[in-house]
Structure formats: C-alpha cells, structure tokens
Amino acid sequence: MRRTIDWADGAVVIIDQTALPGEYRLLHLRTVGELVDAIKRLAVRGAPALGAAGALGVVLAARTSENVHADAELIATARPTAVNLAWGVERAMKKLDQGEDAVLEEALVLLAEDEELNKVASKNAAAIVLAECPRRPLRLLSHCNAGRLATVGWGSALGVVWHLRERGLVEEVLVDETRPLLQGARLTAWELAQANVPYRVQPDGAAAAAMARGMVDCVLVGADRIAANGDVANKIGTYGLAIAAKHHGVPFVVVAPSSTVDRTLATGAGVAIEERDARELTEYAGVRVTPPGTQVFNPAFDVTPHELITAVVTEHGRFAP
C-alpha cells in the first residue's frame, strides 16, 4: 500500500483525502503555496501526516523559495492544533544550513520513523486494550480518522485494529461519522472496508447510546497534541466521548507517536484550538441547511482532561504525565 504522503520527482505526493472514498487520486504539490492550501483544505490531514507535510514542505521551500524561513513559518502555522506540523518543520529546518539534500534526507528519515513508530505505539496500545478489556472478540469505537491516512502509513488508533485483527480479535468497529467533515464516515470506513474489517458507521450522537447498550468494549482515538499532564487535544467530540466512556466504565485509550507530545504545555488549557469555516456547518454537500445569517461555533478540536483517559500510549508505552 502506498504512503499517504511521500516525496517523488521534486514534488510532495499525497493521497487527496477530500476526494475519498468516491475517488482515489494523487496530488503532486510542487510549491509551498500548493502544500499550505492542501493542509488548510484537509487534503492531507491527521497529526502525524501533518508532521511529514511540515518536513517535506521545508524541502519544497529549500528548493523553490527566496525566503525559506518565511515559508517555513507559513507551513508551520497552516493549522494550529496538531503540534506535529510545527515539529516536522523545525526538524527539517535544523538541516537547512547543510543544503537541500540534507533537508530531504532528514524529511525522509522522519517519514520512515513515522511508519515505524506508529506501528510500535499501536502494538503497545493493543496489549493495553487486551489487558483492560476481557471480552473476545472486541467491539471497538473509533472517532475521526487515526488510520493510515492520518499518518505516513499504518496508523495510530486504527493501527491497534490492524494488530488485533491479525490475531482474529476484532468483532466490529463502530465508526463515529465525525461531524462536520466526516473523516470517520469517509476515511476510516474506507480504510476498514479495504482491510475487510467489519464496521458500522454511526452518527457521533449515537456513541453514548452504543455504550449504554453495552455495544462497546473500548474507545480508541488518536491525538493532535498531548500536554505534559496527559490532557489530550483531538478531533471535536472526543471530550464528550471520554465523558460517556467514563460514565459507562468503558476503557478510553489514546494512541499517538511521541512527536504529538508537547512538553512545553503544562495542561491542555494552553492548546490553540482551530476554528473552521462556518460553511462546514451551514451547508451540507454545498446546499445551505441553516437560515440565512446563522452564526456558528465550529471548533475542529477539543481537549480531554487526563482524568477521563485510561491510557495515553506512544511508542515508549504508557505516557507518564
């Protein structure tokens, strides 16, 4: 299976995540402007994949730009919440004085590490899920997309499903559709279908009811930024999911590479939360669904306090706040 994001022939090559599942198409991004636009439109998305985009963006800047530092800043701030984006930019920028080949080499190392570290993190998390959840096979609940498409390859939270599936331990995955941009219904469902894993899509509002009916053994989510105390910023709706899981005694496991940890933040209160375009809510498939002039509250992420989380798991094992 090809990487979600890679470098080929002088371009950043991404699987266009705005087109899936209807169309599988690749985009070749040759300028910093094209890359920044792709990040903002969520053609490439998911914290680890954004880390890769940040590093490869610096390669583009080093090759094409008159002011690499200004372009690096544009890339790093294209979206504010996932710490991986700025982390990827910074890591590549450290090689700038050694020339563009050194920057590319560093970016490619970052990509390879991302695949490997997510595999390890999700393997660690699979062991924790098995220890926390006695039922076999398991019924897992997923929010947003934390699969291959959100990383360079393999996936974080959905990576746990791949590990458990190999051992015949997955009964089904309940997929939150993930309003308003449907990363669950479009992307996670597509990945599960490709892998022949049984799944059902549900509206986000059905998650608590599914737990109340005893349909969920474990909630698995990814992360966009993890504060030093273990608070987790992730796709909007994650916080509510964690409250419902706590209420129903369902383990709530967060899986991420350690590049998502931001030790400069003592708590999740300091995370910058992206607010997105009103039309994501006032329109549905291009058709207006709210009265003219409707105002919206459209945060892309929320922060789940660490007390609600069973385990935050990285490639190093359980994250210690």
Is 151 a binding residue for ligand MRU by CB under 6 A? The answer is yes
Residue 165 or residue 186: which is nearer to ligand MRU going by CB?
186
- Compute the least distance from the CB of residue 5 to ligand MRU, in Å: 13
Cα-only R_g, the chain: 19
Using CB under 6 A as the binding criterion, the count of chain residues that bind ligand MRU stands at 18
The CA-atom distances, in angstroms, between 219 and each of 15, 21, 30, 136, 204 are: 27, 24, 39, 15, 13
* Residue 124 makes contact with ligand MRU by CB under 6 A: no
Shortest reach from residue 154's CB to ligand MRU, in Å:
10
Q: Which of 89, 128, 150, 308 is close enough to bind ligand MRU by CB under 6 A?
A: 150
> Among residues 224, 231, 262, 302, which one is catalytic?
224
At 89, which helix (H) or strand (E)?
helix 83-93
Which is nearer to ligand MRU, 156 or 282 (by Cβ)? 156
- Round to whole Å and give the CA distance between 92 and 14: 19
Question: What gap in Å lies between CA 311 and CA 314, rounded to an integer?
Answer: 10
Is residue 234 near ligand MRU by the rule CB under 6 A? yes
* Residue 144 binds ligand MRU (CB under 6 A): yes
Structure tokens that stand for 33 in this block: 């402007």
x-or-dash string of contact with ligand MRU, 237-276, rule CB under 6 A: ----------------------------------------
**Binds ligand MRU by CB under 6 A, chosen from 76, 82, 83, 207:** 82
Label residue 221 exposed, middle or buried (CB < 10 Å: 0-12, 13-18, 19+): buried
Q: Which of 29, 62, 110, 223 binds ligand MRU (CB under 6 A)?
A: 223
Written in H, E and C, the secondary structure of 160-206 is HHHHHHHCCCEEEEEEECCCCCCHHHHHHHHHHHHCCCCEEEECHHH
Shortest Å distance, C-beta 148 to ligand MRU: 10
Note whether 268 and 303 are within 8 A (CB): yes
If one asks whether residue 5 binds ligand MRU (CB under 6 A), the answer comes out as: no
Q: How far, in Å, CA of 14 to CA of 26, rounded?
A: 6
Catalytic residue flag (residue 224): yes
Report the catalytic residues.
224
Residue ranges in contact with ligand MRU by CB under 6 A: 42, 45-48, 82, 144, 146, 150-151, 156, 183, 222-224, 234-235, 300
